[in-house]
Structure 1
């Protein structure tokens, strides 16, 4: 069955005679949904949208070319992606999108990754206008390629690159790696209160638990190979959690003086320490702060993770060197730029570590490593053996949905998409249709089915036996079933 699904998905995007150009995206008849947050799960969100497409696919990426708003990105599409298509007939849509007037409609799904999870919390709740990709004839140019999605690898091919953003609306749907209450202090988004959402703002959100996002420690391939050599293995090397914490907190920032990679027992331990982290407001960084600094859960003072200001070079993917100094911290605006940071360090022969969810497929330039001897896999996470995982959420303003449902038929359809999609991303049956690499990065919440159910192979593959209490990531993962 999976082979047939993959073949169908590839054929869907390969032979289209028509697509949704910028003019058609702008048309009043096209339903436009603006989502923001959680770049760690961008592939999950994008692919579940694509599962509901019948035809007329176009994919728009932010363009890092000179003269635009995204020149600091390491690759096109790191900051924004927009998926547009004609949806399937009503009867063929995913369960949570049926019966909402969406069948056969043209839909443009805008997904902002820049800024991470907090962009799916603060601008949604306040609400506050935030930058979206500008999809128009001035901003966008055709790539010359047909939009495509390879359901086996998860790779999407954009048909347009767009260089500009526009700040004219608040996001309508937010995604976060952790619950909204986590975004305060070290995790707060610049431009918003460091105290987090006010009680009124928080109570105005409908928060939908989605799935468990499985995080991992990624390392440059140069470091990966050095770890393998030091540990005498050709398999996945392991790193101690305590050492990763010390590295990210700047406690091992003097490799020339013996306080650096020496703690991992690798050769050439005097190499510069390179940390590829996310900026404040990122859910991935919030998950790292939880695991390695116990923030925001501990009442005691925590050692904060190092930031770029603590290091030797400005915050850029092209520092003066990856190897000559003592300590460099890069604060990435998206998951894609963490991967770019690891890759760039590797190109220079440098050692680097960073935090990336498992939905980000390793490359020849960087890979995930085991933590305390436990490999980062969905099977290990759902069995309770690997605990670098957080319960993730989708959220929207309740008042917005109420207003849309009181409006036109198109408004009602849009409300139905927002509320339905927030639920659809958490269903094991939809997870099963994700690309192989993407599937690795998530697990279904314990309430989504029976763990290791022999009668339901899909549930057996995705449902976790462990979870957090009431979706509170400050509680430990505990056996639920």
Structure 2
């Protein structure tokens, strides 16, 4: 994720030859031919990547679709026990197509109606790159369309087979292109990126700098986050907490009743290093890791041996500062940066803490400690990546954070204070770990077609119908439409066909430091307690 010197990047970009495309198999758009005024460079939140990708494919594109850096489709088990297909997107991806017309979708801005358009997404570094790069007018590494080459086709679970191309990005110095993003998305409002949430190379955002750059900042979508543990730890917690289903042990089962829980206080202690070893957690007055006297039958990870004793360090798979997911956890669990006396999470890359650039890096960290298979994790620290674990075959009990839209065999979500991370619990005001994501762009963004593209995207990513469709494809429903968006009316009892939440952090501007309260316009829709 290291930022290259701008002068070097510009010089490198100028010598790149344009790739000459043969006709793509399905008539997709050649990304090298899209006019610059119809390209929206979009940076920020990785938690909204599936929402971004699906909104383009389903709601904005009419035909001639090409995906840049095609994803890998993964089969996921949904919360109802059925399976679905979820695209696994990398830190850099894009979609080019012919846009729908305003007549086909009234939320398509007239400036891009029926035009050949392209959205290029940078997720590396997280949400702050959709905020601070715009405030500072700071160029960052992004996809270079001039480097794209044909890559066959991609089968989308939404629209079927489309064309695919492979493009270079920041991974190769000679083909990097550094550009200021046109627009950004963040899991939390821009003013949250201060204190512990400031990424390497940036300064903290103030309310003044945010309002001067963006003007009014309002949310477009609510999204639910959760605390995750790797699967081996989940299984051990199920046994330690005596969880049963139908009278039988819950060990290895994925139902909500079998989901173990940790208190907010314990989570704060783990994430801030007040508790550094699993040995320190007590079950009936004895260490959690005492498999002889406390919880026989669990499988311990690789120990750290010192002075003849075995210790089991807490492994943390967190995100880099600047991640909106990390900022949401920091806010709700550690009360920072909203409270001047909030707790500071452990940071940096150490033998026990790994700071991943994207959500995929956090997933790979959890996988590494679950299986002992080494994974290379992109990070913001020199030399730009770390290998976890440092010794092949070592395992560990790891904890991290993730958006509910993520799923993998190597991690599982846990309850917080006995409340499961579900859309229903967030909708009902019972689950605290959710945030209001914002889309923003600079006041001086030009030409009008770029503004229209950004406005179109803002109008469509948070619509209740779009979110309902997307939630049906997710491992678990994740996204909530906001009642502060005109025309979106909540129900007292959650309907997945109308996933609108009446609680809000928005008054004039969104502020995720606010405790969510009922939108007064819908106080008759208050869910039952």
The alignment's TM-score, normalised by the length of structure 1, stands at 0.79
Spell out, residue by residue over 1:392-446, the C-alpha distance to the aligned partner (whole angstroms, 9 max, x if none): 111111121xx42xxxxxxx33321112211221211221222524472211223
How much does 1:295 deviate?
Answer: 0.6
Distance 2:151 2:322 in 1: 32
Distance 1:215 1:359 in 2: 9
Distance 1:198 1:243 in 2: 32
Q: Is contact 1:151–1:434 with CA below 8 Å preserved after alignment?
A: no
SS of 1:48's partner is helix
Alignment-derived partner of residue 7 in structure 1? none
Matched, 1:285 2:326: yes
Spell out, residue by residue over 1:47-94, the C-alpha distance to the aligned partner (whole angstroms, 9 max, x if none): 11111222222212289xxxxxxxxxxx9843111111122233223x
Matched, 1:143 2:156: no
SS of 2:489's partner is coil
Q: How does 1:76-475 map to 2 (within 5 A)?
A: 77-93=89-105, 95-98=106-109, 100-137=110-147, 140-144=148-152, 146-151=153-158, 159-165=164-170, 166-193=176-203, 195-197=204-206, 199-200=208-209, 202-206=211-215, 207-231=217-241, 232-233=243-244, 234=250, 235-255=258-278, 262=287, 267=298, 268=300, 270-300=311-341, 302-309=342-349, 311-312=350-351, 328-348=352-372, 349-360=395-406, 362-400=407-445, 403-404=446-447, 412-438=448-474, 440-448=477-485, 449-452=488-491, 461-470=498-507, 471-475=510-514
Over the aligned positions, Cα root-mean-square deviation in angstroms equals 3.1
Q: Is contact 1:114–1:333 with CA below 8 Å preserved after alignment?
A: yes
Alignment-derived partner of residue 13 in structure 2? none
Matched, 1:37 2:44: yes
Q: CA 1:18–1:226 in structure 2 vs 1: closer, same or farther (change >3 Å)?
A: same
Distance 1:103 1:336 in 2: 34
How much does 1:365 deviate?
Answer: 1.5
Alignment-derived partner of residue 70 in structure 1? none
SS of 2:425's partner is helix
Spell out, residue by residue over 1:127-175, the C-alpha distance to the aligned partner (whole angstroms, 9 max, x if none): 22111112234xx44333x1332139xx999823333333432111110
Distance 2:518 2:67 in 1: 41
Unaligned 5+ residue runs, structure 2? 1-23, 72-86, 171-175, 245-249, 251-257, 302-310, 373-394, 524-529
Q: Is contact 2:191–2:207 with CA below 8 Å preserved after alignment?
A: no
Distance 1:124 1:249 in 2: 31
Distance 1:29 1:181 in 2: 30
How much does 1:308 deviate?
Answer: 2.7
Q: Is contact 2:45–2:185 with CA below 8 Å preserved after alignment?
A: yes
Q: Is contact 1:253–1:259 with CA below 8 Å preserved after alignment?
A: no
Q: Which has the larger radius of gyration?
A: 2
Distance 1:18 1:399 in 2: 35
Runs (4 or more) in structure 1 with deviation over 6 Å come to 155-158, 257-261, 263-266
Q: CA 1:158–1:351 in structure 2 vs 1: closer, same or farther (change >3 Å)?
A: farther
SS of 2:469's partner is coil
Distance 2:168 2:68 in 1: 10
Distance 1:103 1:304 in 2: 47
Which 10-residue stretch deviates more, 259-268 or 372-381?
Answer: 259-268
Distance 1:189 1:62 in 2: 28
Q: Is contact 1:30–1:108 with CA below 8 Å preserved after alignment?
A: no
Q: Is contact 2:480–2:501 with CA below 8 Å preserved after alignment?
A: yes
Spell out, residue by residue over 1:171-208, the C-alpha distance to the aligned partner (whole angstroms, 9 max, x if none): 11110111111111111122122x42472553221423
SS of 1:291's partner is helix
Q: CA 1:151–1:272 in structure 2 vs 1: closer, same or farther (change >3 Å)?
A: farther
Q: Is contact 1:37–1:118 with CA below 8 Å preserved after alignment?
A: yes
The count of residues paired between Structure 1 and Structure 2 equals 418
The alignment's TM-score, normalised by the length of structure 2, stands at 0.72
Distance 1:379 1:435 in 2: 12
Q: Is contact 1:34–1:110 with CA below 8 Å preserved after alignment?
A: yes
Alignment-derived partner of residue 518 in structure 2? 479
